[in-house]
Amino acid sequence: MTTVRVVVAGAVFHQGRLLAARRSAPPELAGRWELPGGKLEPGETAPEALVRELREELGVETEPVGRIAGEWPLKPGYVLQVWTARLLAGEPRPLEDHDELRWLTPERVDEVDWLEQDRPAVAEAVARLRAG
């Protein structure tokens, strides 16, 4: 039996902007921008994993709001799921895995080089951001 592992990423919104994070590793992904997140640990729900990952990687407290429909293939054995989330507390800092962060307005969301697999979810996140 093969088990597919879930990577959960967050479209974090704050004051009408979307948070983008530039990866510093691994070499084949470094320099590309993503919605920050990481792998579910055994026993965790996706929202629990998202809150933990954003705390570890960015030093912030967040509240998952809702899932963006869809699931996107990553490397073999992994799929990406995306949730929108609100920033509750803290100023994001690139503590792990990233070397730059940006808050993007909807107009500027295409100014960074998003990982291909993140693009559909980024487009949907921006549509929600615009809708308020």
> Cis ω on the peptide bond leading into residue 26 (within 30° of 0)?
yes
**Options 61-69, 84-92, 113-121, 122-130: segment touching ligand DCM (CB under 6 A):** 113-121
Q: DSSP readout, 6-23?
A: EEEEEEEEETTEEEEEEE
Instruction: Pick from 4, 39, 108, 130 the residue near ligand DCM by CB under 6 A.
Output: 39
By the 8 A CB rule, do 35 and 11 touch?
yes
Q: Is 53 helix (H, G, I), strand (E, B) or coil?
A: helix
CA separation, residue 121 to residues 13, 18, 101 (Å): 13, 12, 18
Residue placing its CB nearer to ligand DCM in the complex, 35 or 58: 35
**Options 32-40, 41-49, 104-112, 123-131: segment touching ligand DCM (CB under 6 A):** 32-40
Count residues contacting ligand DCM (CB under 6 A)? Answer: 16
Nearest approach in angstroms of CB 98 to ligand DCM is: 9
Nearest approach in angstroms of CB 58 to ligand DCM is: 12
Nearest approach in angstroms of CB 56 to ligand DCM is: 10
Q: Is 103 helix (H, G, I), strand (E, B) or coil?
A: strand
Partners of 98 in the β-ladder = 23
Give residues in contact with ligand DCM (CB under 6 A). Answer: 7, 9, 29, 34-35, 37-39, 74-75, 78, 80, 97, 115, 117-118
